Amino acid sequence: MSILDQARIRLLYFGLLLAIVGLSALYVSVYLQNLHVMSIVLGGVLLSFIALFKYLSFKPHWRTISHMLLIIGTLVNLATVFVILQDVNIITVQIIILVIVFSFYMQGQNWGMFYSLLNLLPVLIFMVMKYDHKYFIDFKPETADDSTTIIAVFANFTLIIFIHSHFYTAFLKNIQQLKDTGEEQTALNIKFERAIEKAAKSSQVQSEFLSTMSHEIRTPLNAVIGMSNLLLMNNPRQDQSENLEILKFSANNLLAIVNDVLDFNKIESGKVVFEKIKFNLVDLMQNICGGQIIKAEEKGLLFKLDIDSSLRHKVIFGDPTRLTQVIFNLVSNAIKFTANGSILVRVTCLEDRHNNITVSFSVKDTGIGIKKENLQTIFEPFTQESITTTRQYGGTGLGLAIIKRLLQLQSLKMHVSSKVGQGSEFSFNMEFPVSTVIVSVKERSSALQQSQQTIAQAEGLGSNLRILIAEDNPVNVMLMKKLFSKWKIVPTIAENGERAVEIMQYGNFDVVLMDLQMPVMSGFDASMEIRKMTDPAKANVPIIALTASALFDIRDQVINAGMNDYVAKPFKPDELMEKIQNLVASVNN
């Protein structure tokens, strides 16, 4: 119950008591004077007040009780003016004031106005009529003595003062309570803000931690993968070769897990930006499924890729990397969770609206299937269908969580239907804007030729290519030296950024491979120093950043520091050579 309602009930309680005392005194006074009408009226009013007081202590119906009091007050007021006294005296005025104050406080604006006018207007009319002596009522007015008037005036004023002071206190309390609630609210808001800040900070710390950890894990992984590549290149014995393959496979697996965790972290912190570049869906699907078909066949599964032929010559805009990630994950899961039967990947053009197409992607398998109650939970991060899944198939339970979020970010939804023991189907629809360019078969084969040519050219790079490598990790240095020995290149090594800048001042190089995190001077600072050199050949030397860091905006940072490109460790030797070749060629042209 609000403070005001509580105050109203208290007011009625004590007000009625006061009124009963006052009325009793008045009753005695008029009775002793033998004023019959007044005695009857006052007696009636007294009895009704006592009855209302009883009712109030029984049920706190303040609204009804105050209405009844106001009706009684109005009747008494009008009867006194028009019949009993046939006069307007100070008591009448007091009663009117009492009714006005009481009705407003108890019943609010509308009823307050109603009772006020009901009491005031007839009295005003009476006064006007009396002024003209035009009224006529066949009743001899009574007049009370002074003591009665004094008692009435005193009682009425006491009531008026009581009502006012009571309500004034209640209003003050109400205001104080509002203030207190406001202050509590503000304190709570401050607490919330702090909690939000703390959460944001902890998520930032988590994201930084993951990024640092990934760097720490990727650096040795780089060495493991690189070394197994090198050992595999050196014609190992068959048993060695098998062991090396296992080593390489496990290291690559570990790298995939680290990448998944990082990717999830990146998506969760809302740092994914989708590209809008041109590509052909048929080429992309064939590339994705190329490697997967081999895996499926190794398991004795039938793999079918069914693409709508209308997509063959269409160039569309979208993010092929992210789309690859989604399809690749779905197909990998399908192969992983299917022991025999088939995998069907279907790409259908649902709608072709000239400059926009809607494509449906579906990956269907005949594998172990998923229980109905688990169809939602498998999309939660780090969640697999059961402990048995983890034991039997491994995995982190991040793949579907990443896919779901990637689709969600593009306002898309993944649909799953599955029957335990019969298989599963994952599908989603995606819209793509269509380019007006049409790819011909000839173009596609020439693009392929071009990339093959680049690799060939890279392999043809002679020992005359002068490479400066800024790298502090001795294992990585050894790895790079061995790697470049394949092309008969002997690179110059600088153990930190400062050394790299010094060596650049004295020697001439065709390309600089710059590790980013190094002691003394970082790769960023060293690159900026090189770009400031007066000799234009040195200032413009191609610089490729080598980084194991998975910082989200690494590309921007690298370009801002004046470097030309970057390669993430662990890198593929051919990819690195291709970049070197392209950069050197572009500088020489």
Q: How far is the CB of 368 from ligand ADP (least distance, A)?
A: 5
**CB closer to ligand ADP out of 218 and 336:** 336
521 in contact with ligand ADP (CB under 6 A): no
Nearest to 135 by CA among 66, 81, 176, 209: 81
471 in contact with ligand ADP (CB under 6 A): no
**CB closer to ligand ADP out of 229 and 338:** 338
| Radius of gyration over every alpha carbon of the chain, rounded to an integer in angstroms | 46
Torsion on CA atoms 328, 329, 332, 338, rounded to nearest 10: -130
With CB under 6 A as the contact rule, the residue among 367, 491, 523, 570 that binds ligand ADP is: 367
Candidates 395-403, 443-451, 471-479, 524-532; binding stretch for ligand ADP (CB under 6 A): 395-403
Q: How far is the CB of 399 from ligand ADP (least distance, A)?
A: 3
529 in contact with ligand ADP (CB under 6 A): no
Question: What 3-state class would DSSP assign to 264?
Answer: helix
Tokens of 584: 């050197």
**Does residue 122 contact residue 166 with C-beta atoms inside 8 Å?**
no
Question: What 3-state class would DSSP assign to 423?
Answer: strand
Helical H runs in 345-473?
387-393, 399-409, 441-459
Name beta bridge partners: 302: 342
- Applying CB under 6 A, what is the total number of residues that bind ligand ADP? 21
385 in contact with ligand ADP (CB under 6 A): yes
Candidates 47-55, 226-234, 392-400, 475-483; binding stretch for ligand ADP (CB under 6 A): 392-400
State the DSSP H helix or E strand holding residue 258, giving kind and residue range, or none if neither: helix 238-268
255 in contact with ligand ADP (CB under 6 A): no
Candidates 5-13, 61-69, 148-156, 362-370; binding stretch for ligand ADP (CB under 6 A): 362-370
With CB under 6 A as the contact rule, the residue among 345, 400, 513, 580 that binds ligand ADP is: 400
Q: Using CB under 6 A, which residues numbered 297 to 336 contact ligand ADP?
A: 329, 333-334
With CB under 6 A as the contact rule, the residue among 399, 491, 497, 573 that binds ligand ADP is: 399
370 in contact with ligand ADP (CB under 6 A): yes
CA-to-CA distance for 206 and 92, rounded, in angstroms? Answer: 79
Q: Using CB under 6 A, which residues numbered 406 to 425 contact ligand ADP?
A: 424
Nearest to 398 by CA among 378, 381, 414, 386: 381
CA-to-CA distance for 530 and 510, rounded, in angstroms? Answer: 13
Candidates 168-176, 319-327, 351-359, 365-373; binding stretch for ligand ADP (CB under 6 A): 365-373
Q: Using CB under 6 A, which residues numbered 48 to 77 contact ligand ADP?
A: none
Candidates 22-30, 135-143, 399-407, 480-488; binding stretch for ligand ADP (CB under 6 A): 399-407
Q: How far is the CB of 291 from ligand ADP (least distance, A)?
A: 17
CB atoms within 10 A of CB 50: 15
Torsion on CA atoms 451, 452, 455, 460, rounded to nearest 10: -130
**CB closer to ligand ADP out of 396 and 457:** 396
In SS3 terms, 165-230 reads as HHHHHHHHHHHHHHHHHHHHHHHHHHHHHHHHHHHHHHHHHHHHHHHHHHHHHHHHHHHHHHHHHH
First to last CA, the chain: 86
Please report how the helices 320-336 and 399-409 are oriented relative to each other, as an axis angle in degrees rounded to 10. Answer: 150
With CB under 6 A as the contact rule, the residue among 368, 493, 541, 580 that binds ligand ADP is: 368
CA-to-CA distance for 198 and 14, rounded, in angstroms? Answer: 54
CA-to-CA distance for 3 and 1, rounded, in angstroms? Answer: 7
With CB under 6 A as the contact rule, the residue among 389, 527, 547, 564 that binds ligand ADP is: 389
- x/- contact string, 77-106, with ligand ADP (CB under 6 A)? ------------------------------
Residues in contact with ligand ADP by the rule CB under 6 A:
329, 333-334, 337, 365, 367-370, 378, 384-385, 389, 395-401, 424
